[in-house]
């Protein structure tokens, strides 16, 4: 345990412990020379006492420091101070792929492929530099806050000796290749096997092999066939399943030859999920690996049966405070879709509000115009009535002797004098309670009732006397009978 505040190499100030791995404790630190935050891994005491391991650790750490790739957690420095062997690395703010899988249960095929492509790109860069990771697992894959996938812990697993394989295997046995489980030679194809197991876990939410001890899990890697992912997830794309099965072949010759071929198929699966393009070399012999009794004893001796694998004990040293930033993560990048939909929804709401206000204003204006039109019609009828009354008064003034002015059908006014015969007719009509009236321009039943009865509502009397229906069309020049009041 390194105390907070200690300065390593006269440059790296230890600020706080942020995690612990199988072979090192992880601290958040500050590079006082470049004024930036870094992650500092300090080897645990049991490894510091193994000179052979320390020498290989420093050699591999220096090799990893030469890896400059956006999908790799960069190693800045390695050193020793007061018996403490440390490695200074890029501090990535984010969560591990393991945490992301545990949160979501299982990932969509697009997420799996996108993460896998970035992960393989970083591991491929290491293979190009002749560095084999040997400890690939979701705990060693970091998803940064901006959605970048980064692989960490290059070189440490490769520096492990036979004396330390037990402790290292406890953190990795679920992802270890058959040749690693047997203690044999491991190369780039061993990393490809571990990638396949990681893909399997992303697709199904679980590892293919589990057990009560590290030995039992290692034996399953050697002897048992992997359950096809489609049996657990029926809707998994065919091409993705074939990629996983090819990566996890027990015979390394049947796996992908290199990362380039694997990335090529992953990209193909992205555009053709159900395509049958993954080629797996036929196997004449059974996949089951025959193990001699001596080899079985060696495996048992290599793994510590008393120590059970605890996946949750491994923390790559990255703060969990950023977990919530990755709920919307899609395909290696945080999805911007919710933000875009939110903006579009807000714009639509503003538009609808504006449209509603505009339509309400227009409706009020239309209602006001209707009211004004109705008022104008009433005023027009009143003016017409007053005009007729004035005309009658004028006619009376012009013809005091009883002559009256009538308007003919063609609009001409004629003056007539009441004769004795007409007086008799008028008298006869009057005696019957009726009198004739020649309709003039602008007359309506209402205006005539107003004229003769002083009340427009009495117009029904005129309609009944002349056998007219409501709304009947009368023309100037028509002669109507007007009932007495």
Q: Any idea which residues carry the catalytic annotation? A: 135
What is the per-residue pLDDT for 290? Answer: 53
Query: What gap in Å lies between CA 410 and CA 475, rounded to an integer?
Result: 11
The residue among 273, 198, 206 whose CA lies nearest residue 240 is 273
Query: What gap in Å lies between CA 44 and CA 57, rounded to an integer?
Result: 12
Q: In this structure, are residues 44 and 2 in contact, taking their beta carbons and an 8 Å threshold?
A: no
DSSP 194: H
The residue among 175, 189, 99 whose CA lies nearest residue 137 is 175
pLDDT in tens, the chain (485 residues): 788 889 999 999 999 998 887 778 899 999 999 999 999 998 888 888 888 778 877 777 777 787 889 999 988 998 899 989 999 999 998 899 999 999 999 999 999 999 999 999 999 999 998 888 888 999 999 999 888 999 988 755 565 444 443 434 334 789 999 988 887 778 899 999 999 999 999 999 999 999 888 888 989 998 899 999 999 999 999 999 999 999 999 999 999 999 999 999 999 999 999 999 999 988 764 444 555 566 666 666 655 543 433 333 334 444 443 344 444 444 444 456 778 888 888 888 988 898 888 888 888 888 888 888 888 888 888 888 888 888 888 877 776 655 445 544 444 455 444 444 444 444 344 445 788 889 898 888 888 888 888 887 788 888 888 888 877 788 888 888 888 77
What is the per-residue pLDDT for 305? Answer: 42
Vertex 151 angle, CA 164 and 216, to 5°:
45
What is the per-residue pLDDT for 302? Answer: 58
Model-level pTM? 0.59
DSSP 372: H
What is the per-residue pLDDT for 196? Answer: 97
User: For 432-478, where are the alpha helices, taking DSSP H only?
Assistant: 445-453, 459-465
């Amino acid at each position: 345990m390194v105390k907070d505040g200690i300065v390593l190499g006269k440059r790296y100030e230890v600020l706080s412990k942020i995690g612990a791995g199988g072979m090192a404790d992880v601290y958040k630190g500050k590079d006082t020379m470049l004024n930036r935050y870094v992650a500092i891994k300090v080897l645990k005491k049991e490894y510091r006492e193994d000179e052979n391991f320390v020498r290989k650790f420093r050699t591999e750490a220096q090799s990893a420091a030469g890896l400059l790739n956006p999908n790799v957690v960069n190693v800045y420095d390695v050193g020793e101070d007061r018996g403490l062997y440390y490695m200074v690395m890029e501090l990535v703010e984010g969560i591990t792929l393991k945490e992301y899988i545990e949160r979501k249960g299982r990932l969509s095929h697009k997420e799996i492929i996108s993460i896998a492509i970035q992960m393989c790109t970083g591991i491929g860069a290491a293979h190009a530099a002749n560095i084999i990771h040997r400890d690939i697992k979701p705990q060693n894959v970091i998803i940064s806050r901006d959605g970048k996938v980064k692989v960490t812990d290059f070189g440490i697993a490769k520096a492990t000796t036979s004396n330390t394989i037990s402790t290292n295997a406890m953190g990795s046995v679920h992802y270890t290749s058959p040749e690693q489980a047997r203690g044999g030679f491991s190369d780039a194809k061993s990393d490809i096997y571990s990638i396949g197991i990681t893909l399997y876990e992303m697709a199904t939410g679980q590892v293919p092999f589990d057990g009560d001890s590290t030995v039992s899990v290692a034996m399953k890697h050697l002897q048992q066939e992997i359950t096809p992912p489609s049996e657990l997830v029926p809707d998994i794309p065919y091409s993705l399943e074939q990629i996983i099965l090819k990566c996890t072949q027990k015979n390394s010759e049947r796996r992908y030859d290199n990362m380039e071929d694997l990335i090529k198929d992953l990209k193909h699966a992205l555009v053709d999920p159900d395509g049958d393009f993954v080629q797996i070399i036929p196997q004449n012999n059974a996949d089951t690996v025959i193990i001699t009794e001596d080899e079985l004893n060696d495996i048992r001796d290599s793994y510590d049966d008393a120590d059970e694998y605890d996946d949750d004990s491994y923390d790559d040293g990255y703060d969990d405070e950023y977990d919530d930033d990755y709920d919307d993560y899609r395909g290696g990048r945080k999805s911007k879709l919710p933000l875009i939909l939110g903006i579009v929804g807000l714009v639509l709401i503003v538009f609808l509000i504006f449209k509603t206000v505009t339509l309400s204003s227009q409706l009020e204006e239309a209602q006001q115009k209707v009211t004004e039109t109705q008022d104008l019609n009433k005023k027009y009828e009143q003016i017409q009535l007053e005009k007729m009354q004035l005309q009658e008064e004028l006619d009376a003034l012009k013809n005091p002797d009883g002559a009256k002015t009538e308007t003919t059908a063609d609009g001409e006014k004629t003056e007539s004098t009441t004769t004795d015969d007409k007086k008799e007719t008028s008298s006869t009509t009057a005696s019957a309670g009726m009198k004739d009236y020649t309709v003039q321009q602008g007359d309506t039943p209402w205006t005539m009732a107003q004229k003769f009865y002083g009340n427009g509502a009495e117009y029904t009397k005129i309609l009944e006397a002349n056998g007219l229906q409501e709304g009947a069309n009368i023309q100037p020049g028509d002669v109507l009978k007007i009932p007495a009041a």
